[in-house]
Amino acid sequence: MKVGASSPEDYGDYFAWGEVEPKKNYNWSTYKWCNGTNTTLTKYCANSSYGTVDNKTELDPEDGAAYVNWGENWRMPTYAQQTELRTNCTWTWTTQNGVNGRLVTGPNGNSLFLPAAGVRYDSSLEEAGSCGGFWSRMLDYSNQDHAMDVVFSSSGVHGSSLNRHGGLPVRPVRIAQ
């Protein structure tokens, strides 16, 4: 299930990367970790061309929507965990209760449904029903105004990166006890 969702088909809430609450507008002027542009980043930056360098490339738990909204046993996935999910599972494009998305089935036969929830930019929801994705907790080291995510549509599934200010759902992972 995604943060803010009440059913597997529910899109859930959308979050800018490193933010813990949904909002109405997703752009650089509303992004928490910058001073209005993609070259004035104030946290999670390892290249001075993008802003103030702190060399953080992974979200602190308190900046992760999973940890803040679901509790200390939950985190946003690492990009390695997303890669494992992409490569070790079968991703089938389907419609579940009228919602397009991917049924992800693991080697053990367990499955989960990820709706094609689109992405939020400014006050718009784009590509809902045809494309979906969810954040990792990892910065895109080569393009620091982006963060890593997994993206899917009817034509495939791949690892990607998205502008940090964009709004995507969060699919938490549970910390092993």
Give Cβ neighbours of residue 84 (< 8 Å, ≥ 6 apart).
none
DSSP 101-137: EEEEE-TTS-EEEEE---EEEBTEEESTTTEEEEEEE
- Which residue, among 164, 138, 169, has the nearest Cα to 65 in the 3D structure? 169
Specify the pLDDT at position 138: 97
What pairing do the DSSP bridges indicate for beta strands 90-96 and 99-105? antiparallel
pLDDT tens digits, one per residue of 38-71? 999 999 999 999 999 999 999 999 999 999 999 9
- Global pTM reads 0.95
pLDDT higher than 90, residue 176: no
Say how far residue 10 (Cα) sits from the centre of its chain.
Answer: 15
pLDDT tens digits, one per residue of 85-119? 999 999 999 999 999 999 999 999 999 999 999 99
